Amino acid sequence: MLYLLRSNATPILLLLITLSGYTQLRAQSAEGDSLRYADETHLRNIRQLTFGGDNAEAYWSFDGKMLVFQRTSVKDGIPCDQIFVGKVPAKASEPFTYKMVSTGKGRTTCAYFTYDNKHVIYASTHLASEVCPPVPDRAKYGNKYIWPLYKGYDIFMADLNGKIKKQLTSSPYYDAEATLSPDGKKMIYTSTKDGDIELYIMDLATGNEKRITNTLGYDGGAWFSPDGKKIIWRASRPQTPEQISEYKELLSQDLVAPTNMEVWVANADGSNARQVTQYGQANWAPVFMPDSKRIIFASNHEYKRGFPFNLYTINEDGTNLQKISRDKGFDAFPMFSPNGKKIVFASNRNNGGTRDTNVFVADWVE
C-alpha cells in the first residue's frame, strides 16, 4: 500500500522534491548520470521507469525480467492503488511499458511474483467494495500520520492477464503485505485476525500456516533472505502506558500510526528474533542484500522533521551504517535483482516539484 511501510508505506508520498532540489540533483550528478546525486556512489546508470502519479513497491520477478508495482494516477482514472506488471527494458532505447493485472476495483497493495514468473500475488479490497475505501481523517488524530488497516483486504493470486486463479486468505480482517520465500513455496504476510498486527507464514501448497510474532506492536513488511534461512521486517514496540494505550485505541478502529519503526530479523521460522536498528523515527522497508548478511532499508532518522527518507545499508548486527541515497524527499522500497547487479526503488526525484513518486532502476556498484 502506498502508505508508509513497505506496503503500507508512504507518509512520504506527501513529501515532495522541490524544484530547487531537482536543480541541485542536476548540478551534483556526475558522469552524465543525470538522475544520480554525486554522493550516491553505489548507484550507476539510474533510469526512471514511470512518469507521473504515485508509483511504488516495485519488485522483481524471479527471473529478473519483469517488475510488479502499484500505481495511483487520478488523471489516468486510477483513483487508488492498482497493480501493474511491466517488462524491464533491456536497452536504453527500449521503453518501459506496463499493464494492469489487478481488477481495477477497490484498493490493492503489496504485489509479488510467484516462482514460475507467470503469476503475481497481491492484496485487494475488491470483494468488500468496488470503490476505493475511505482514507482516515487525520485531523481527528492531531494530524498524525495514520494508516488504515482495511478489513476488506485479502490476498489473491492472479495470472499476468489479470485473471484471479486463487484466493489465498479469507479472514474478515486485514490480510496484506505478502512476499514469498526464495523457492516460492511459502508466503509471509501480515494480519490482524488474532487481535494484533502480526506475521504469519503460509505453505502455499497446503494452506497450512503459523503465526510467528507474538509481541504487542505492529509487525509487517516482511521478507525472506535470499538464502531462505532468515526473515526481516519492520516493527513497532510501544513501551510506555501512553504508547500502549494509543496503539490499542487506534487498532480498535483498524488504524495504526507507523511513525516509530525499527528493523528486526529472525530465523525463517520466527525464532531468535532480534532488533537490528535503534535509531528512532521510521526505519522500514528492509530487505536482505544478495549476500543474505547485509541489509538495505529506508529511514528518516537523520531528520527530526520526519523527512527526507533515504536508503541505508547496515550489517545484520547493527554495525556499519552507510547512507546510500540522497534525495531531498523520498527514497524507499529497495529490492535487488535476482543476480544482485541491479536495484529498483521508488523516489520523489525528478518529479519537477510535484508530489509524484516514481519507479527507478539502477546498476549496483559495491
Whole-number Cα distances in Å, 215 to 103, 286, 305, 348: 35, 19, 29, 34
Q: d(Cα 136, Cα 167) in Å, to the nearest integer? A: 27
Task: Give the number of other Cβ atoms within 10 Å of residue 146's Cβ.
Answer: 22
Residue 289 has, within 13 A of its CA and on its CB side, a CA count of: 17
Q: Is residue 122 part of a domain?
A: yes
Q: Cα 41 to chain center, whole Å? A: 23
What does the pLDDT average to over 223-247? 97
Q: Is residue 178 part of a domain?
A: yes
Q: Is residue 269 part of a domain?
A: yes
Q: d(Cα 151, Cα 174) in Å, to the nearest integer? A: 4
For the stretch 22-50, pLDDT in tens is 434 443 444 458 999 999 999 999 999 99
Q: Is residue 53 part of a domain?
A: no
Structural domain including 303 reads 60-314
For the stretch 80-92, pLDDT in tens is 999 999 999 999 8
Is residue 154 over pLDDT 90? yes
Is residue 68 over pLDDT 60? yes
Residues 283 and 263 sit within 8 Å (Cβ to Cβ)? yes
Q: Is residue 184 part of a domain?
A: yes
- Stated pTM of the model: 0.92
Q: Which residues contact 164 (CB under 8 A, 6 or more apart)?
A: 103, 156, 157, 158
Structural domains of the chain, count:
1
pLDDT of residue 144: 87
pLDDT of residue 90: 92
Give the pLDDT band of residue 143 (cuts 50, 70, 90).
Answer: confident
Q: Is residue 343 part of a domain?
A: no
Q: How many residues does the chain have?
A: 366
Q: Is residue 29 part of a domain?
A: no
pLDDT of residue 32: 53
For the stretch 277-312, pLDDT in tens is 999 999 999 999 999 999 999 999 999 888 899 999
Q: Is residue 16 part of a domain?
A: no
141, with CB counted inside 10 A (0-12, 13-18, 19+), is middle
Residues 180 and 134 sit within 8 Å (Cβ to Cβ)? no
pLDDT of residue 305: 87
Give the pLDDT band of residue 342 (cuts 50, 70, 90).
Answer: very high
Can you name the residues that pair with 100 across neighbouring β-strands? 84
For the stretch 155-189, pLDDT in tens is 999 999 999 999 999 999 999 999 999 999 999 99
CATH code, domain carrying 197? 2.120.10.30
